[in-house]
Amino acid sequence: MLGGSFILSNTEEVNTSNESLYLPYLLVAGIVFVIVAVFIFAPIPELHAQQEAKPDSGGIKQERPLFKERHFVLAILSQFLYVAAQTGIFSFFINYVRDYMPAMPGGFARILPDGMTYMKDGMGHITERGASMLLAGGGFGLFLLGRFSGSMILRRVRPHITLGGYALTNVIMMIIVILFPGWFSISALLLSFFFMSIMYPTHFALGIRGLGERTKLGSSFMVTAILGGSVMPILMGWIADNYSMRTGFIMPLFCFIFVMIYGFNWDRFFKHDMEPV
């Protein structure tokens, strides 16, 4: 919301100036500085995870090299693609809403917060700033709700099944976003935030499960999977520039398909990795 108020237009015109672009980054830098200060003084406990691999016939537990742990290696790839999809959706949400949100009745548009819409031919149209407000209040609100509700669901439903089910739902949401532009697709795009909410931490937990004393090393590899968020959205932008904004959502669609496959098959990968070497 702060970023949108600093750099996005609240009129029919699209803001192409970078004059105030530095302001939200200064704000982010200040927040990160506070977090760094907290971690400098916070005690971080030593981690000792349980070894779940089955012993061989001689009673010795042998470990596969990390790169041969299927559930771990595929978790990194799946996390890479999830973060790619997440960053792409976050980044192009405003563009999509500006391009495909239908006009609103003037009476309804006038009761919305100032700067969220502009009037043209008696109808209300969403502004860049209005789309950013919808992203903050609607999208990230559903993301937050998904985190809280997901933590309760994960206590009752196996995590990999939850991950696969949520990814399947987002596959459907992306198909709607691509094929049915309008109020239906805007609603689907917003709902995708809810079903993305548990994916990052669930991937993380599934990926490092059973690594024993290698858990810290495995965790460091899992963290690097966020690189997907800096690589794949470039492809999404290229598709959008050369075809259309809704076509660009093919990228997160295929990412969620892979996440779905990983989630539903994680148990098979894990059982294989826990068998004697």
Q: What is the pLDDT along the chain (277 residues), one digit of tens a residue?
A: 666 666 665 556 666 666 767 777 888 899 999 999 998 988 877 767 666 666 655 555 667 778 889 999 999 999 999 999 999 999 999 999 989 988 888 887 788 777 777 788 888 888 888 888 889 889 999 999 999 999 899 999 999 999 999 999 999 999 999 999 999 999 999 999 999 999 999 999 999 998 888 888 899 999 999 999 999 999 999 999 999 999 999 999 999 999 999 999 999 999 888 777 6
Write down the pLDDT at residue 183: 93
Whether residue 266 contacts residue 163, with contact meaning beta carbons closer than 8 Å, is answered with: yes
Domains of the chain: 46-274 (1.20.1250.20)
- The confidence score (pLDDT) of residue 206 equals 95
pLDDT at 165: 97
CA angle (147, 82, 90) in 5-degree steps: 70
User: Residue 117's closest CA among 108, 127, 105, 107?
Assistant: 127
Token couple for 162: 């939850």
Which residues are 124's β-sheet partners?
A: 104, 119
C-alpha triplet 17, 3, 93: angle, nearest 5°: 90
pLDDT for 83: 97
Rounded CA gap, 175 and 253, in Å? 7
**pLDDT score for 204:** 94
- pLDDT for position 56: 58
Distance between CA atoms of 198 and 170, rounded to whole angstroms? 12
- CA dist., res. 124 & res. 197, Å (int): 31
Q: Taking Cα atoms as reference points, which of 271, 258, 274, 193 lies closest to residue 225? A: 258
Q: Is 276 helix (H, G, I), strand (E, B) or coil?
A: coil
* Dihedral angle, C-alpha 266, 272, 273, 275, nearest 10 °: 140
